Amino acid sequence: MRENITAYDALEISKEWLEQPMFNKVIITLNTENTLDSLDLSDNAMSQFQYIIAKGSNVTSVELGDKVRLSLDKMTNKKVNPNNTHEDITTIELDPIEFDGKIFAIIEDRSIKTRFTNSKELQTNE
């Protein structure tokens, strides 16, 4: 079972991260929604809350390890269901990147809705 990355883990990973995204790109965790203390991996259950692992030189509104709320609507793409042409399938479009056996995503900073203030202090008990 895959576990979500905590704020502490995100800061530790960011210290070891070897690639810096370009310009307005950020690298985020891919935590999923928690359901009854377990992970729900069905139905694209990506959480809107993620942590910043790395950021490009033009990104000034977030820092490494910050907890952010994503605009998942900006990241979705509708396609016609190949099994039923009268039905659309909505998927989240991400640019994946692997590091130390874990998958992260590269997104544009405009997909970030909010940043939690003092997120490092608030999330240390996760």
CATH number of domain containing 71: 2.30.33.40
pLDDT one digit per residue (tens) for the chain, 126 residues = 578 999 999 999 999 999 999 999 999 999 988 655 554 445 457 899 999 999 999 999 999 999 999 998 888 888 898 999 899 888 888 899 999 999 999 999 999 999 998 655 544 444
How far is it between the farthest Cα atoms of the chain? Answer: 49
Domains of the chain: total: 1
Would 19 be classed as within a structural domain? yes
Assess if residue 55 is contained within a domain. Answer: yes
pTM of the model: 0.81
Does 36 fall in a domain?
yes
Tell me, yes or no, whether 125 lies in a domain.
Answer: no
Whole domain around residue 71: which residue ranges?
A: 7-116
89 inside domain:
yes
123 assigned to some structural domain? no
Q: Which DSSP string corresponds to the chain?
A: -PPPPPHHHHHHHHHH------TTEEEE---B-EETTEE--SS--B-SEEEEEEE-TT--S--TT-EEEE-GGGGEEEEEETTEEEEEEEEE--EEEEETTEEEEEEEGGGEEEE-TTHHHHTTT-
